[in-house]
Structure 1
């Protein structure tokens, strides 16, 4: 399900208050870090997300934000990767979940999108719908189960031979 976030909503003030309490450093990724970020995303998430990180990093400035703790990468969030105005993908390492790093990445990415002139952000194929609804008042976008990922090429497992 795709969701729509109003970047002028007062809910973002509440989100900022929650994001400000996070101990991680959130910042725009730098191009020389791209290989580190992509390797990390590959290890923790998927090759599809690595492709989206590549697309987000191709923008100037990059459309990829990272979270670090003690100089170590612990999370990332992208925008304008699959389509303009799209938030995501985003992820936080398992050992750092529950520390509001995802909230901080979400907030700072929305702020970056607003600074680039967007009034709304689309969260494409939102996994944790309740997270986005509660965090920023995201609203479902009605559809007939059709989205941008319809027909996405998938790698099929190769049969194991002798």
Structure 2
């Protein structure tokens, strides 16, 4: 296996881990928290999120490193200026958004204060869930566009 082939495998696997985790949180965990599981959703969310956040951070780092290497290995920097590679620009922006969330906003407690410090907890949970749903939808569109573009569609 070549180094670019290995980097591509790492990239795809780390994206699957990252977005798969986002899908689980959005489609299974948050709805269960809001409706069924616990009288203190923030406490349970913190307990489980704490276990997943390290995995998400590692997946995000691997995604970024492998993606940067792939741009370098294929000398694809010029692609960033071409409109037909909008999905690549979107992918980088999406990654940057998550990097800011996981490595800046979360450690500073901004997400905690924004959502769990609200006066109306039910409304805060709805917004939190809607944010996750929008992020998941955006990720799905970007992934589908990247796969389609790379397979001649």
TM-score range, shorter chain: under 0.3
Per the normalisation by structure 1, the TM-score is 0.26
Higher helix share: 2
- Flag the structure with higher strand content: 1
